[in-house]
């Protein structure tokens, strides 16, 4: 059905590359099934597929079960979906048709949101094809409203009816969202300084939300629009000191928590091992932070800096995609600074991976960067447990304040 849809222009060029995909979405993670699909598969009378489906499905029986998360496929010994054929094609799609796929399989990698009456569609960077289309555009991500043929089987990620209205009835979601994306795409600043500027702005807006002074938010947006063009204010951001200690603590956290971070996904594991080699560290060794600091700085100035100068748009596009698909900043949720902290941690973790991998490869190409970012998105962005454990440890040690996040972000 044709729907007026807001989407990044890269979506128009997406189609699944199937068996040519270097990291099939049918390998390495749990494929969930909605209730309707589960029942369809249970009742399927197909000589081969019927039994195979029945043997492979398992009901979710704990508190997380719902109509959309009703059952799942048990992966085979190689962590592959049991329906995946040797050819790399999906056995269900090939045998009984695409319309029999579950909502999860049909929708992925698309992210569909509805803001008030409008549909929005973007996609997860954990799909390598999406990563290439979204990240490798030097001009930056652009958006367009278009009539799009929305598949009615696609699952909705978020439905925010009236989400854009604050308590005083003013529409604040759009001005906040547009200004946020504008900050991240403002190339007169270093990307880390754009993130710092955004953090200061979001912190200010959060304080107005906390005190229910919604009527002041529009004025603050206008104030910060002027600040971003104020040379003295911007120069003061340049003088902020980075905190290599805090950034390296994150490296250590990453390594210590790796076992729950998706070591099962071979493509991520390869990048992870490259990062460790780039930092000259063994996973199980006791960390010598001083040594790590020296290696980090060497990798940064010898290899990462050059990558950042040549391909800075890649991480900018990563952040813009994240902001759009996660509906940031949604003031209805009242925790926009927490959401910003999470985005900052993702960005910082990604930069650490890239600095380490750059050290191992003596530089970074587009291809290597895409592999790191796509596989990182797959195991970290999709693993709330892991991401929460990183942000929780920042919180527990009081490192989740604006001052700490700023020094984590600073190059």
Task: Please give the residue ranges that form the binding site for ligand SF4 (CB under 6 A).
Answer: 16-18, 21, 24-25, 108-109, 127-129
Backbone phi and psi for residue 155, each to the nearest 5 degrees, phi listed first: -80, 145
Whether residue 331 contacts residue 209, with contact meaning beta carbons closer than 8 Å, is answered with yes
Least spacing, CB of residue 22 vs ligand SF4, in Å: 8
Least spacing, CB of residue 213 vs ligand SF4, in Å: 44
Nearest Cα neighbor of 409 from 269, 227, 203 is: 203
Give how far the C-alpha of residue 51 lies from the chain's centroid of Cα atoms, to the nearest Å: 37
Least spacing, CB of residue 158 vs ligand SF4, in Å: 21
Which residue, 16 or 234, is less far from ligand SF4 as judged by CB? Answer: 16
Which residue, 7 or 127, is less far from ligand SF4 as judged by CB? Answer: 127
Which residue, 108 or 173, is less far from ligand SF4 as judged by CB? Answer: 108
Which residue, 269 or 402, is less far from ligand SF4 as judged by CB? Answer: 269
Least spacing, CB of residue 21 vs ligand SF4, in Å: 3
Which residue, 25 or 399, is less far from ligand SF4 as judged by CB? Answer: 25
Least spacing, CB of residue 126 vs ligand SF4, in Å: 7
Least spacing, CB of residue 116 vs ligand SF4, in Å: 29
Q: Which residues lie below 8 Å from residue 268, measured CB to CB, with a gap of 6+?
A: 261, 262, 375, 376, 378, 379
Which residue, 86 or 232, is less far from ligand SF4 as judged by CB? Answer: 86
Least spacing, CB of residue 27 vs ligand SF4, in Å: 9
Which residue, 72 or 179, is less far from ligand SF4 as judged by CB? Answer: 72
Nearest Cα neighbor of 83 from 109, 61, 59, 101 is: 101
Least spacing, CB of residue 121 vs ligand SF4, in Å: 14
Write down the residue that tokens 């120069």 correspond to: 235
Which residue, 18 or 140, is less far from ligand SF4 as judged by CB? Answer: 18
């Amino acid at each position: 059905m044709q729907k007026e849809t807001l989407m990044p222009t890269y979506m128009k060029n997406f189609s699944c590359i199937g068996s040519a995909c270097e990291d099939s979405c049918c390998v390495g993670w749990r494929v969930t099934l909605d209730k309707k699909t589960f029942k369809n598969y249970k009742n399927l009378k197909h000589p081969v597929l019927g039994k195979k489906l029945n043997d492979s499905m398992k009901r979710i029986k704990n508190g997380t079960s719902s109509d959309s998360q009703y059952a799942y496929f048990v992966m085979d010994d190689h962590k592959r979906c049991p329906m995946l054929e040797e050819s790399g094609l999906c056995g269900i799609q090939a045998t009984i048709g695409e319309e029999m796929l579950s909502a999860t399989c049909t929708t992925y990698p698309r992210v569909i949101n509805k803001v008030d009456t409008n549909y929005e569609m973007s996609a997860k960077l954990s799909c390598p094809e999406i990563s290439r289309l979204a990240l490798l555009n030097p001009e930056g991500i652009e958006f367009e409203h278009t009539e799009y043929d929305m598949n009615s089987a696609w699952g909705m990620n978020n439905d925010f009816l009236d989400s854009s209205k604050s308590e005083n009835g003013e529409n604040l979601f759009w001005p906040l969202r547009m200004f946020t994306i504008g900050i991240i795409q403002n190339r007169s600043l270093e990307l880390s300084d754009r993130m710092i500027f955004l953090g200061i702005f979001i912190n200010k807006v959060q304080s107005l939300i906390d005190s229910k002074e919604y009527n002041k938010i529009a004025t603050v947006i206008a104030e910060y629009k002027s600040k971003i063009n104020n040379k003295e204010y911007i120069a003061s951001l340049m003088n902020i000191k980075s905190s290599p200690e805090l950034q390296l603590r994150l490296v250590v956290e990453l390594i210590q928590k790796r076992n729950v971070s998706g070591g099962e996904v071979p493509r991520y594991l390869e990048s992870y091992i490259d990062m460790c080699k780039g930092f000259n560290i063994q996973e199980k060794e006791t960390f010598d932070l001083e040594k790590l600091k020296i290696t980090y700085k060497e990798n940064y100035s010898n290899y990462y800096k050059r990558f950042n100068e040549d391909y800075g748009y890649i991480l900018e596009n990563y952040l813009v995609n994240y902001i759009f698909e996660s509906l940031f900043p949604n003031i209805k949720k009242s925790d926009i600074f927490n959401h910003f902290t999470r985005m900052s941690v993702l960005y910082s973790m990604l930069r650490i991976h890239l600095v380490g991998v750059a050290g191992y490869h003596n530089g970074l190409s587009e291809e290597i960067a895409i592999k790191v970012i796509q596989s990182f998105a797959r195991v970290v962005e999709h693993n709330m447990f892991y991401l929460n454990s990183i942000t929780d440890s920042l919180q527990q040690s009081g490192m989740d304040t604006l001052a700490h996040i700023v020094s984590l972000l600073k190059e």
